[in-house]
């Protein structure tokens, strides 16, 4: 797949404990993105953060081991594909009943290639 020029960055902020059945929500998002043919997805685990419903800052500090650290799923692709994926995100959040944040940004894709293995 060749991808270059203007694209969109979809960012989904969620918690480590958010689950769809026995599967982590972030994993469900990544698997669904792959199934729908999106260019790729990256999950980043935060070391500290809080959200709309949090009274506590979740942190990875050794003295206060949190089990609900923030996670961010990032997906870059063409606008059309990202927009088609948004209802999937909504559906997953509804199933879980959790909070989160979803953002979209315009990005300039410089290079997108697979390795030569």
CATH fold label, 5-103: Alpha-Beta Plaits (3.30.70)
DSSP alpha helix (H) spans, the chain:
25-35, 79-96
Q: Can you give the length of the chain in residues? A: 117
> Among residues 2, 4, 28, which one has the least CA distance to residue 14?
28
Whole-angstrom distance between the N-terminal and C-terminal Cα of the chain? 16
Specify the range with the lowest mean pLDDT, choosing from 17-21, 58-62, 81-85.
58-62
For the chain, give every domain's residue range: 5-103
Strand ranges (DSSP E) for the chain?
5-15, 19-20, 23-24, 41-45, 48-49, 58-59, 70-77, 101-109
**CA atoms of 36 and 3, how far apart (whole Å):** 16
Q: Render pLDDT for 25-68 as a digit per residue (tens, 0 to 9).
A: 999 999 999 999 999 999 999 887 777 766 655 555 554 555 67
């Amino acid at each position: 797949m060749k991808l270059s020029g203007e694209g969109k960055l979809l960012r989904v902020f969620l918690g480590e404990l958010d689950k769809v059945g026995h599967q982590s929500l972030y994993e469900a998002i990544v698997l669904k993105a792959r199934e729908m043919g999106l260019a790729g997805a990256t999950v980043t685990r935060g070391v500290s953060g809080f959200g709309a419903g949090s009274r506590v800052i979740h942190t990875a500090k050794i003295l206060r081991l949190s089990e609900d650290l923030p996670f961010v799923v990032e997906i870059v692709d063409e606008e059309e594909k990202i927009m088609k994926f948004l209802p999937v995100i909504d559906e997953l959040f509804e199933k879980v009943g959790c909070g989160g944040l979803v953002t979209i940004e315009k990005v300039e894709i410089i290079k997108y290639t697979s390795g030569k293995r």
